Amino acid sequence: MPNPLLIAPAATAPCRYMMLRYRLARLLRQLGVEATDGPRAIVDALAARIGCEIDIDDQHQFGVPGYFGVTVITPASEYVIFVQAHTSREHQTHIVMHEIAHIMLGTTDQASAALFRGTHRTGDYSNFQERDAEFVARTITGWTSAALDARLPVQTDERIARLARSLEDRIAWS
Amino acid sequence: MNGLSVTEWWLRSVVFVLIAVWRVHQTARRPSLPSVLVTIAFLGIAANLIFEALAHDESQRADGRPYLAAAVQVLALLIAWCATCAYYAQADGTRLAWRITTIIIGLASLIAVGTVAAGFAIPAGTGLHNFDEQTPVSFEVARFYMIVLVFFPFALAAGGFLAGRVARRSRGPLRVAMAIASIAQWLLAANSPELILQLWFHYHGETLPGSDMPIWLVLYFGGALLWVLSFGAVAAAHRANQIAALRRAWRSGKALRHLLHDLETMSPPALTYPHTGRTPLLMRPHTALLRARVECRDRLVTVSPYIGAELPDDARQRPLEVAEAIAKLHQHNMIPRDLPRIKPVAILTTETSDRDLLAELADCYTRITHR
């Protein structure tokens, strides 16, 4: 298991979530993705950064109440994210972001003792690891939706698009 | 040079320094060639204004050498304008644009050498020339200003031409911004010969006919103001879009509140996300909307077997029928406290890009429960 890319502050640290948001923004900038690129680009950038595959299976039928999503680390150290099939695409994307947050925070191992080597989203936030992962997922999804809502007309030429980006206001992490 | 007091010079410098610092911060956050070039342009202009203010300070002293600071000021301005031309050229990306920029950089190099040499040649105690007043100008001073002023008609016209080319290929607010930048630089370029002629007339102890006409002021100040505005136009449009989106998000979030509240009473309380720190002000409507949408979906999935039991298969994708089933389950308190683990049912999952089934469900639910 590699070192976590995103280190959550101590549970009692003042301004804990502000610091976590700041660190998350820095990580996303380092990953080289724009908020308007969408969640799939974040998954791909993270996979490239940690140097392994992150596969998503969005056709898994988990019983309810229970898991919405599960991350499993294969013997080849690749990640497979299983997502509840019986929900909307938007909800599935959020579940994937929650699992991605666990990978960023390096909190996939802790869940392994119970069931398997991986982690899961159940919607229960009584422990800090789940709460932090959900905070990261909600922050990313909130940023991406705000950035997409405020998006200006897309430039057809890549050079012109770069010029436009240099003049645009900063929304989300970029 | 244009009638401002020393305090006004410093005030203007401070404003531009703040803009330049903001640009440095933006570039450090997300480095890219256009961002670096526009930051160099702003830093150059800020440095130009600082050295211009220093030159004016020096000019107040009887034995001052204001033309040394003025020469450094000109160097900063030359760098700023070369960066501006490169900024437009890299967006245009054609050989013509880069050739024009190369010529401007070459001209700027010659002007830089000439300016420094001419600045050093001016003896101590010579004050800066005020273009607003018809005062005698020595040969050294006239030579200094002439070398400087000869650069700008070409550089500004080149900048205007390149910005115009970028404007034609861009869309939306960027097109407007580039058109403004082009017009601004053509206005400034049109004003430049007047300054050269004014200097020529002052050197010969005469006044340029029509130099007091307001058109020259409009060209100079209008051009400068539009040029600065052109850099803020895209950011302003972007921020305006964000504010409009905030209102939409707030309205959408409000529409989901009633449905979320009733789903909360029907499903496990552990699904409620706790309060985590302070959300930035401009993100609050989106965060609230996201919370409502995620938690509505979490709960819909969790109680889906009970909703599904109330509906035939084909009605599970219709918001009105689903809303009626939820209302019935909620009204009769039909969902047990301790839910057994069972297979979920797909409820309102066939969303398309033009149809938001969750929003439709919230709307139907509000209408049904308020009848």
**ipTM given for this complex:** 0.88
**A83-135 residue pLDDT tens:** 999 999 999 999 999 999 999 998 886 544 444 444 456 556 777 888 899 99
d(CA B358, CA B369) in angstroms, rounded, equals: 16
Element spanning A91, H or E:
helix A89-105
How does the average pLDDT of chain A come out, rounded?
Answer: 86
Structural domain spans, chain B: 6-212, 243-369
Per-residue model confidence (pLDDT) at position A120: 55
Model confidence pLDDT, tens digit, residues A37-56: 889 999 999 999 999 999 99
Instruction: DSSP for B171-192, please give it.
Output: -HHHHHHHHHHHHHHHHHHHHH
Query: What type of residue is A82?
Result: F
- Measured between beta carbons, the chain A residues lying within 8 angstroms of B298 are 68, 91, 123
> B5 CB near a chain A CB, below 8 Å?
no
User: What are the CA-CA distances from residue B304 to residues B151, B259, B297, B322, B349 (Å)?
Assistant: 73, 15, 10, 10, 11
Helical packing angle, B139-169 and B66-92, nearest 10°: 20
Give the CATH architecture of domain A16-144+158-167.
Answer: Orthogonal Bundle (1.10)
pLDDT at B125: 82
Average pLDDT over residues B71-85: 94
Probe site for chain B from A86, A129, A132 (most B CB atoms < 10 A): A86
Residue B193 confidence (pLDDT): 85
Q: Which carries the bigger pLDDT value, residue B69 or residue A109? A: B69
pLDDT at residue B77 above 80?
yes
The residue in chain B having the minimum alpha-carbon distance to the alpha carbon of residue A160 is B91
- pLDDT at residue B252 above 70? yes
* Element of type H or E holding A84: strand A79-84
User: Which whole number is the average pLDDT over B218-238?
Assistant: 89
A112 in reach of chain B (CB within 8 A): no
H or E segment to which residue B350 belongs = none
pLDDT at A87: 93
Using a CB-CB cut-off of 8 Å, the residues of chain B touching A63 are 341-344
Nearest residue of B to residue A125, measured between CA atoms: B273
Task: State whether residue A14 sits within 8 Å of chain B by CB.
Answer: no
> What integer pLDDT is reported at residue B334 of this predicted model?
83
Among candidates B91, B233, B289 on the partner chain, residue whose Cβ is nearest the Cβ of A159: B91
Residue B156 near residue B104, CB atoms below 8 Å: no
Window 74-113 of B, Cβ < 8 Å to A? 87, 90-93
pLDDT of residue B4: 62
Per-residue pLDDT at B174 exceeds 80: yes
**What is the rounded average pLDDT of the residues B231-241?**
91
What percent of chain B has pLDDT above 70?
A: 97
Q: Using CB atoms, pick whichever of B38, B172, B341 lies closest to residue A63.
A: B341
| B317-325 mean pLDDT | 94
Interface mutation vs chain A, best among B298, B300, B345, B351, most A CBs within 10 Å: B298
Give the residue-averaged pLDDT of B254-263: 93
| Minimal CA separation from A76 to chain B, in Å | 31
Residue B249 confidence (pLDDT) above 90:
yes
- Tens of pLDDT, residue by residue over B176-188, are 999 999 999 999 9
Q: ω before B280 within 30° of 0 (cis)?
A: no
| Cα of A17 to nearest chain B Cα, Å | 6
Interface of A with B in 82-111 (CB under 8 A): 84-91, 94
> Mean pLDDT in chain B?
89
pLDDT score of A116: 43
